[in-house]
Chains A and B, each alone.
Chain A
Amino acid sequence: MAPKKSAAAPTSTATSAAAPAPTTAAPASSTIAKPTSSSGQSFDKVALNIVQHYQKTTPQRTKIIDVFMAFLVLVGGLQFAYCVLAGNYPFNAFLSGFSATVGQFVLTASLRIQTTEANKSDFPSVSPERAFTDYVVGSLILHFFCVNFIN
């Protein structure tokens, strides 16, 4: 996924991001072409390459979204692990706690899709501000339901 994305990014988006992309992509492809060289090293390089590319090309706000989504995955995973280990009583509490994180994750993912520059053409009528407002309203409704349901 990542190389494809990085390949698509420079063609469609800003020139500032396009300039470093070919330089990083080229060595990566050259290392993969040599199968005899140590594979661990090449994977390291690929990963490093991806991270570097992500850090350079991703806007600040998208990075915040990604951090928040990683946080939600962590919280949701902990809740699910607790349910598996300690049992699901009271079940409504598990449902609302777990679905709060899942729902928040879905809403945040939608925000990310709507505010990514690359998807701008898909949402011509949704400005980032509008997307954020929708997100806030949706989240508040979600929190209201979850707090109500956990009783």
Chain B
Amino acid sequence: MKSLISFAVLLFAAVSHAISSSGDRLLVVLEDVAEKETYSKFLGDLEGRGFQINYETPKSEGLSLFHLGERSYDHVLFLPTKSKGLGPNLTPKLLLDFINADGNILLALSASQSAPTSLVSLLLELDIHLPPDRQGLVVDHFNYDVSSAAEKHDVLLLPAPGSLRPDVKDFFSPAVEGGLIAFPNGMGQTLGAGALLAPVLRAPPTAYSYNPKEQGETLDDVFASGAQLSLVTTVQARNSARFTVVGSADLLSDKWFDAKVKKVGEKKEVSTVNREFAKRVAGWTFKETGVLRVNWIEHHLNEPGQSNASNPKIYRIKNDVTYSISLSEYSWDKYIPFTVPESDDLQLEFSMLSPFHRLQLTPTISSADSTTYSTSFKLPDQHGIFNFKVNYKRPFYSNVEEKNTVSVRHFAHDEWPRSFVISGAWPWIAGIVATVTGWLGFCAIWLYSKPATGKESKKTQ
């Protein structure tokens, strides 16, 4: 059955041109369907990558994320809407259910339109906080675009974000060297301490967020400033469903794709890399990149002269065992061999409640679309029910948590080394031999010796 499904998936992947690893049905929610012209390049790119796009407004009657308990769409893109709420079809609970059902959401905010309450509640649920009154504008007096925002300083020009940590792969930086990302008219977010949150683009140290309606003249209470402000935030749920908040919807608009900008203090005009950045953010969110697949897992006995059948149910303590796992990574339109980022490790745990071994897996076999990682080790001197566990959860990579349960039995009574094999036991073997031969000799002498004369004399008496 499993092979049949994977065959079908392979066939599907081969036939379709270039598509997300988790489906191609995309719902775009916007204020007015005519508004899609503003984002025609971005949406055109998505269509060109194979997405089937449906456009809906929050008010439309037939809008439903689920049909008969199944998802109607694989991905949802929210563009800014004017309405305060999103209506009964897009409540926070429905959106959470959508995430729980492996649906992906890309949310674009804007400073000019306050965020719908439904989405604010959803963001709070995910520990992402928006400015009070659902309104805020990010400005930076040191990194703005001179040509378009000389007065308001609300078009931020940012370099490519780079990787989050040295051991995390960089999925979002455009390949163009020295390109600037224009972040116009955006709303920043602050993040809680949730482990599932990962910021992609942080504000520069001189940026801050304020409410242009209330704090137009004096600024006494700043919502957040500097790197506290996350401009593009991602959440990857435990089921690897993805949720991304882009602080500025204008970042995705045609106007800022390949626009010419001039950073304050610099003479040369450069073109923005928004198109490439938007493609990477959307591609990651809609599971076109950073998706890991476990092809197969195999473990066997690694001892000379013993059966090396695959995946036995039972091992013995102190057996030598080899474990292998084959991994692929989805990259835009095909699976490629997964390579662990430098300074990161893929590890195998051999655990019963707690790990008895935590071992580094090293690449052994590499094919066109997969890499096999394996390790060999000696099972611990402890019998019980154990798991081979690979728990690889990293920012931006989909979660890998694989558990294979095996029993580990103790030595059978005839599997111990015989005492005469162990030289340390020879004195005690000699002791038994001496006792037994001594006893035999004693018995012989006892039987040979006549009963004492005393007995005879006693009998006569």
Residues of A within 8 A of B (CB): 13-17, 59-62, 64-65, 68, 71-72, 75-76, 78-79, 82, 86-87, 89-90, 92-94, 96-98, 100-101, 104, 108, 117, 128, 132, 136, 139, 143, 146-147, 150-151
A-B contact pairs, 22 of them (CB 8 A): A14-B461, A15-B461, A59-B452, A61-B446, A64-B442, A64-B445, A71-B438, A75-B431, A79-B428, A82-B428, A87-B424, A89-B422, A90-B425, A92-B419, A97-B428, A97-B431, A98-B428, A143-B432, A150-B419, A150-B432, A151-B418, A151-B419
B residues in contact with A98, CB < 8 Å:
428, 431
With an 8 A cutoff between CB atoms, is B457 at the interface? yes
By Cβ-Cβ distance, the 7 closest A-B pairs, closest first, are A97-B428, A59-B452, A93-B425, A97-B431, A93-B428, A68-B442, A79-B431
B63 to chain A, nearest CB (A): 76
A126 to chain B, nearest CB (A): 14
A residues in contact with B443, CB < 8 Å:
136
Assess A150 versus B455: contact at CB under 8 Å? Given A90-B419, A93-B419, A101-B431.
no
Contacting pair B432 A147 (CB below 8 A): yes
B422 to chain A, nearest CB (A): 5
With an 8 A cutoff between CB atoms, is B427 at the interface? yes
With an 8 A cutoff between CB atoms, is B439 at the interface? yes
Rounded to whole angstroms, the CA-CA distance of A100 and B419 in the bound complex is 16
Q: How many A-B residue pairs have CB under 8 A?
A: 107
A residues in contact with B295, CB < 8 Å:
none
B residues in contact with A75, CB < 8 Å:
431, 434-435, 438
Q: Interface residue tally of chain B, by bracket?
A: 20 to 34
With an 8 A cutoff between CB atoms, is B62 at the interface? no
**Helix, strand, loop or mixed for chain B's interface?**
helix
Contacting pair B438 A86 (CB below 8 A): no
0/1 string, B408-420, CB within 8 A of A gives 1: 0000000010110
With an 8 A cutoff between CB atoms, is B124 at the interface? no
Rounded to whole angstroms, the CA-CA distance of A104 and B434 in the bound complex is 11
A residues in contact with B434, CB < 8 Å:
75
B273 to chain A, nearest CB (A): 70
Residues of B within 8 A of A (CB): 416, 418-419, 422, 424-425, 427-432, 434-436, 438-439, 442-443, 445-446, 449-455, 457-458, 461
Q: Which of B419, B425, B428 has the most CB of A within 10 A?
A: B428
A45 to chain B, nearest CB (A): 27
A residues in contact with B416, CB < 8 Å:
151
Partner of A93, one of B429, B439, B451: B429
Assess A78 versus B431: contact at CB under 8 Å? Given A60-B449, A64-B446.
yes
